[in-house]
Structure formats: structure tokens, C-alpha cells
Structure 1
Amino acid sequence: MSSQSQALGGRVAVVGCGSRAAMFVRGVVARASSQVVAFCEPNSKRAAYYNDLLTELGAPTVSVYLPDQFEEMLSKEKVEIVVITCVDALHDLYIVPALKAGVKVLTEKPMTTDIEKCRRILQTVKDTNNHVTVAFNYRQLVKLLSVHFEWLLDTVHGADYFRRWHRQKTNSGGLMVHKSGHHFDLVNWWINSEPEAVAGMGKLGFYGEENGKRHGWARDYVRARGSEEAKKDPFAIHLEKDDTLKRIYADAEEEDGYHRDQNVFAPDIGIEDDMGVMVRYKSGAIMTYHLVRFAVLPHTPHGKATASPSTVRTAASSSTSSNPNTASLKTRHLGGLIHGTEALPRAGGATRLPIEVDHSAHGGGDTRMLNVLFGPLEGEAADTGDAAKQGATERDGAMALVVGLLANESFKSDKFMYVKDLNLPL
């Protein structure tokens, strides 16, 4: 698999001032080699929140540009790196012109949300010989024969995708693209191969209007703010109870009409919450994968990889509040806790492998990813070990994306789908 390990540095512009931007803004400001020089954001209140954050961090405030001023911003602010954290379906609108302008591009996963946009990005890479770095924070053997990957999210974190813009496939590509892209990239990287064929089944089994009526959790409201019904709904999130959510969503909604607190049992949900996929790789390895967003157990991923001499099995969970209204923005970014990893040889007993426990965001993945992307913090040594080899390029982004997109197509067709039929310019 491809790898990028050279640290990014210099004048940084951030596109999209939602909650995910905070990690990058803090990470850039903390490093003397980089500085935030501009925001590109259509909502002035969200942009104001991030300028206030810069002040809080001891950095100067910066100019704010609208999306149609993006290229002007690149030129006027002498931008060297653009960090893209906006709605997934809009990533290509910034990746392509930035590549053409010779600006380094760092985008949140997924790289984009459909094949045409993916082709456009890959063709621009080919034409310009510039590259994209994709922020896969889950990267952080012998030949593998098979992988079983199961990810069970409870109704605290699992429900959150059904309250916000991710609930429409036109925005996010569905959870096969937005969420599972993490997992598909990780498996591609683990087995050092690329997907070849994909088949899957998916359904909306718990969230949505009809399911809510069936199991009795449905409440009659559109969004939680101002609703008496929502006060009785354990699935509702109340933005006013979290200062950050209040400022970047509740206070900002009058400008763009975006509601971050929508009813998870509404009739207009367009994504699945229960998905199973089978993938065959060029190496011959086969993966079975299952993603559930309404599990009873709290955030319990399991993974198992089988090689010719042994099997490696991992189980982990993340610690989050059981109440969406008391879980802070930081805890919603999922502090991870590894339960354990075992090696199971074909002869002899299981061996528990030592794993470092990390309770920081995404199990320490965010911190290590920032150190690889932007270099170490002052006083820290540069990581020249495994983490430095875990960068992801546009090819990695595409190979994670196609598994999710082909799974979505297989949900509709009940057929195997093949990567070669996409004719990607790779």
C-alpha cells in the first residue's frame, strides 16, 4: 500500500468549521512550524467560534472566506496546506482546485462520496503530479488469509449519525462510506492488498419512522430544540447543554438552517443502520464485515485476522457517557480502550500480546496522526518508527472508498460488484 510520511508544515487554511475542525486547529497551533492563516466557511457564527478558539490558544485571528472565494483565499493568504473537514460530499470541490494550484491537500476521510468525484480527484492527481493525504486515524505480518471485522456501536454514539447531515447518502455516502471507510482502509493496510470484489446486504432496522413505531421509541417531533416531546426522548440531543455544540450549531443555525438535533425516528432517513459485507482482495484474502449502529453493548469492536501459522484476535471498546446530553464534545470523539489482543497459534495455547492502553481521542489515533501529519510537538522527538510509515494517499483513499460504494450498490442489486468495472484512473 502507498505511504506518505513527510510532515506537513507552513500556512494552513481550514475548510469547514464543524466539530471535527477543532482537532486540526489545535494541532496546527501547537506546532511552531505551522500556523492557521484562514478559514473557509459559509456560516459566520461557526467561523467566529473558531477565531475565538485561536484567541484562546494564543494565536492571531484570521480572515474568513466563503466557499466561492476558495481560490482567492489560496492566493491571497499564500496557503501552503489546505485541511478539508466540511461535508463529505463537498470534499472534491476543494481538493481539485487546491491540487491544480499546487497546494498540499489534507482531507478528512472519506476522501469523497461517489465514483465520479473519486475519478475527478484521481485524474487531477495524475494531471498535476500533486497528491492528497487522507486523515485515516485508525492506522496508528505474515500473509493474511482471512479477516473478520465486527463493529457494534450502541445507541449513544451510534444514534448520532442519524441526527445530523450524515443521515442522507447524498451528503455522506452512507455509513459504508463515512464510517466504514476507516475500517476498510485499516484492513487494506493490514493485509497490504487492495479490494477486488464486494458483496453485501444492508437495511434500516432500528432508526427511522416505521421502526420507531414498531419498537415504541418513536416520538413526534422534527428536531429537539423547542420540542416538549423531545424532552421525553432518551435519543434526543439538547444542544444548549453543551457550550461548544450551542455555539457552532444552535446559535449558527439561523444562517444556514442546519439542525444538528434532528429526530432519529423521522421518516426521511436515507442510510442503513445494519450492514454486512464480504470482500475479496487481490492477495486472495477474504474479509467478512458487519457494522451495527444500535447495539446493546457499548461500542464493542472485534477483529480477527487469520494467517497460515496463527490467528490474531483483538477486542476493544470506547468509554462514552450513556447519555448523549452529558457526553462532552471530547468524549464524543471516543476515548479508546483496548481490551486485549491474543495470538492463537495452530499448536499450543493463546498468547496475550502487550498493548499500550490509550484513553485519548480515538484511542490515541488522533494524537499520533497529528504528529505524523504536522510533525512532533516542541520537545518531542520525531517518530521514525511504524507511525511514520502510516500516511495515506489518494490511492488509499480511493481503495477504502470503493469498498463502501460497491457495498451500497450490492445492497440494491443483490450481486457481487467488481472494482475493475469502475475504470478508475490509477
Structure 2
Amino acid sequence: MSRRYGMVGLGHRAQLYVDALAGDWSDTGTLVALCDTNRTRMSYYNPGNRLPVYGPDQFPDMLAGIDALIVTTVDATHADYVCAALDAGVDVIVEKPLTVDEPGCARIAEAAARGAARLIVTFNYRYSPRNTAVRELLASGRIGRVTAVHFEWLLDTIHGADYFRRWHRRREHSGGLLVHKSTHHFDLVNWWLGSRPSLVFAQAGLRFYGPDGAGVGSGPFGLDLRADPRLKALYQDARHEDGYVRDQDVFAPGVDIDDTMSVLVRYADQSVLTYSLTAYAPREGYRVAFTGTRGRLELEVSERAWCSTDAALDPTAGKSEEETYERLTVQEHWKPAEEITITRGAGGHGGGDALLLDDVFRGPGDDPLARQAGWRDGIHSVLTGVAADRSARSGQPVHFAADGLSLTG
């Protein structure tokens, strides 16, 4: 059945869904309405003004004419749009993070419970072949019961720096990287383990970016929007409407999020996670290791090797000086290590984007990996970041309620 989709939030991330509904997934539905605070950005995705457009105050009118809503707005606004759509009986597809704080989680949980509309959180990394291979291996029992997870994520000075140019640099908009970015990673661990967090302790700080950061004067961190026609059209040409500056100086005042984070998490199954996120590494990728009662599983991924750019003109640009790679090994007790072959996917998030879109628009079918994420998954991942942020500021551990849907301290 072809569905009528509306989209709220017409920034960079909207392109994934616009292209999907105009391309390989056009048989599943049609984009019939757009909503944004900025009409220039809506025009970019609406050549010939074919679709009706709505401002935020007209959002209820848009809901009346659609079957499902795609939410790609600033993170702090997600809860408002998600709850309004659910209460109107409209299904929701929302970009991670589901929301940015505990009140937003509570509002969404209440809206989801009182209505019949469905909510999907788009965790692309669940669909990356390397990450699904980890899930399969853990479920097979090769390393026994998992007791400890060590997870290090590196954002390089192209990708990582970009969070400090955009609206993400303000905690009130993004919840900080422990929410906006780490929600991906916390969700992966929750999903890999089939468990949920029960206690969080963290340390975090702003060490590299901002006016007093160690990176001041250290390299080419400027961004020229004119070098990318799409960024220019979406942001520079739209600035006159709302004053939003997409290319802020990463070392200018106003940054209040962290760039260096370390987190300890205890799970309901008594396993423990040691996690770190650094937003100014010379390369991009991650390492995760699972120690179990029968052995150990390790995944190492280089998503982008060290890059040389012409004054970092484009946050997605760069000339890689060595190949990216992914390496998955399993070693059972008293046996040699075995390298597991991974079939690499094409496209974004290690091939995960196409699989995610197929799941979102065609349905998950009989997926033994349970990759499609719902509102509970979204809340568990958001609250892990919220708890970590709270702990880093208080110096105290933060506990989850018994159902994992709220915090108790």
C-alpha cells in the first residue's frame, strides 16, 4: 500500500529520505508535504513548488493529510513533533536521537502508550553488516555470556569538528554529543547485549574546541559553504530568513558541549561497558571488544584514515591516505583467534542506510536480528547519554528506574 509521507525538518539529513521516496522506494509511498521554519530550505527540496509547505504553526494542518511523518529537525524539537503526530494517529519515523532529555522521553512514552500509531527510530548502525555480524556471533554463544564491553569511538577533525560549527555546539539544542552522537553507540551496545543500562558514571569535558581549547590555532578548521553547492543552497542562501550560521568558528565562544568523554555503564544483566568518545582524533573509526565466559570478540573499524583537505572546505571531503578497513575476530578459550569474513555493504553507515530504508519503507519482515528500533530503544539510548552527562557534572553515579524508562538519581 502506497503511503502519504510528510517531512518536518529540511536540512542536510532530509536528503536521505527525499531521495529514497523519489527513487528506489517510490513504490512504497509519496512525499506529499513539507514543514520547516525556513522556506528557502523547503524550496530546495521542492523544485517547481509541487508540494504544499507548512510553517511550524501550521503543522497540525499538515498532519491531517498524511499517513506517516519523517522527523529530521533539530534534536530538541523532536519530542514536540513526535508527540503531536502520535496523538493524531500518524506513524512516525524519527532520526536519532529520539529526544534530548528526560522530560522529552517521558512525554514520548506517554504518547506512544495512549495511542496506536507506530514509532521507528532510525539507528542506521544496527544495519551495518559488520555490526549485525557481531550481533549474530554474540547470539550464537561463541564467547559465552558477555561480562564486559570496551568501546572506543573516534571522530576525526573533519567530522568531529563539524558538530562544533553547527547548532549541535549548544547543549540546549543537541543534548551534547553524549546524547546526539553517543545515542548511536549506546543503542548498539543495548542491542548487541539484549539488555539495558541500570547505572551510569561518567567524566567529560571540553578540551580541544572552544576559545580556550587545546586545538586553538592548530590547523585548517574553517568551512567554506560556497565550496559545496548543496550546503550553500541549504544554509548560506537561507541565512537571511532565520539567521542560522552553519559555518561557525569551532574555537569561538558559545560552545557548551563536551569533546572528550568517558563513561562506565552497568547493565541489567550485570555486564559492564567502558566507553569513550573523542571528537578531535586524526582518523575516524571505532574499536569494540566483548569479553565473555568462553572467549573474546573484537571488532576494529577504520571509517576514514587520516585526511588531507584544502582548508577543510567540506566536512564530507578529504583524500584518504590509506584504505579504510574493518576486522572482526573471535577467540575462544584455549583456541587460536579466528578472523570472520564480513561482506561489506555499499553506501552510508557501512551499507546500513539502504538496509534501514528498506526496513522503514517496506517493513522489517521476519528479522531474527530485531534491527528495527522502537520508542523504548530510543529512550534507553537517550537516557544513557543524559545519565552520563548528569554524572559528569555532579560527580555521582546515576541510576535507572526498574523499567529503564526514567532515571532515579
Same fold (TM over 0.5): yes
CA contact (8 A) 1:115 1:422 kept: no
Distance 1:309 1:205, change over 3 A: same
2:93–2:121 contact (8 Å) kept in structure 1? yes
Query: How well do the aligned residues superpose, as a CA RMSD in angstroms?
Result: 2.4
- 2:247 corresponds in structure 1 to 261
Q: Is residue 93 of structure 2 the alignment partner of residue 106 of structure 1?
A: yes
CA apart distance, 1:300: 2.3
Query: How far does residue 383 in structure 1 lie from its aligned partner after superposition?
Result: 6.6
Q: Distance in 1 between matches of 2:2 and 2:95?
A: 17
Partner of 2:133: none
The equivalent of 2:379 in structure 1 is 398
1:15 and 2:8 aligned: yes
- Name the structure 1 match of 2:359: 372
The match for 2:395 is 414
Which residue matches 2:304? 319
| Matching residue of 2:21 | 28
Q: Which moved more, 1:66-75 or 1:173-182?
A: 66-75
- Looking at structure 2, the residues matched to 113 and 339 of structure 1 have their Cα atoms a distance apart, in angstroms, of 31
1:360 counterpart = 2:347: yes
Q: Quote the Cα distance in structure 2 between the aligned partners of 1:129 and 1:307.
A: 40
Q: 2:118, 2:216 → 1: CA distance?
A: 50
State the secondary structure of the residue aligned to 2:120.
strand
Contact 1:13 1:36 in 2 (8 A): yes
Residue type of the alignment partner of 2:184: H
> Which residue is equivalent to 1:228?
none
Deviation at 1:216, TM superposition (A): 4.5
Report how far residue 314 of structure 1 moved. Answer: 0.4
CA distance in 1, matches of 2:313, 2:265: 38
Amino acid at match of 1:181: T
Residue ranges of structure 1 left out of the alignment (5+ in a row): 1-7, 219-232, 377-381
Which position in structure 2 is the counterpart of 1:164? 166
Offset at residue 92 of structure 1 (A): 1.0
CA distance in 2, matches of 1:44, 1:328: 24
CA, structure 1 residues 195+425, in 2 after alignment: closer, same or farther (shift >3 Å)? Answer: closer
Q: Distance in 2 between matches of 1:360 and 1:137?
A: 11
Q: Which residue of 2 aligns with 1:83?
A: 70
Of 62, 65, 77, the residue aligned with 1:73 is 62
Cα distance change, pair 120–29 in 1 and its aligned pair in 2 (3 A)? same
Deviations 1:256-314 (A, max 9, x none): 00000000001210100000000000011100000000112x10210111221111100
Deviations 1:10-55 (A, max 9, x none): 1000110000000011112222121000111111110010113xx7
Moved more, 164-173 or 348-357: 348-357
Instruction: Choose the corresponding residue for 1:309, options 294, 298, 308.
Output: 294
Distance apart, 1:241 and its partner CA = 0.5
Contact conserved, 1:17 with 1:41, CA < 8 A, in 2? yes
Tell me which of 51, 57, 64 is aligned to 2:53: 64
Q: May I ask how many residue pairs the two structures share in their alignment?
A: 385
Q: Which residue of structure 1 lines up, in the alignment, with residue 266 of structure 2? A: 280
Answer yes or no: is the 8 Å Cα contact 1:149–1:290 preserved in 2: yes
1:183 to 182, 185, 207: 185
Structure 1 residues 68-101: Cα deviation after superposition (integer angstroms, max 9, x where no partner) = 11110111xx200100000000001111110011
% identical equivalent positions: 38
- The question of whether the paired residues in 1 share the 8 Å contact of 2:102 and 2:406 is answered with no
Q: 1:274 to 1:424 in 2, by over 3 A?
A: same
Q: Give the aligned residue type for 1:41.
A: D
- 1:132 Cα deviation (Å)? 1.5
**Residues 130 and 216 of structure 1: CA distance in aligned 2, closer, same or farther (over 3 Å):** closer
Candidates 41, 44, 47, aligned match of 1:49:
44
Partner of 2:329: 342
Report what 1:217 is aligned to: 217
Counterpart selection for 1:300 from 262, 275, 285 = 285
- The residue type paired with residue 56 of structure 2 is P
Q: Distance in 2 between matches of 1:198 and 1:148?
A: 15
Match for 2:303: what amino acid? S
**Among candidates 84, 106, 109, match of residue 119 of structure 1:** 106
Deviation at 1:375, TM superposition (A): 2.0
Q: Distance in 2 between matches of 1:264 and 1:110?
A: 23
**Partner AA of 2:89 in structure 1:** G
Distance 2:8 2:167 in 1: 17
Q: Deviations over 1:93-134 (max 9, x none)?
A: 111110011000010000000111110110111111433210
Q: Separation in 1 of the partners of 2:122 and 2:257?
A: 23
Pick aligned residue for 1:239 from 225, 236, 243: 225
In structure 2, the CA distance between the partners of 1:328 and 1:26, relative to structure 1 (3 Å rule), is: farther
| C-alpha distance in structure 2 between counterparts of 1:276 and 1:404, whole Å | 11
In 2 relative to 1, CA 152–329 (structure 1 residues): closer, same or farther, beyond 3 Å? closer
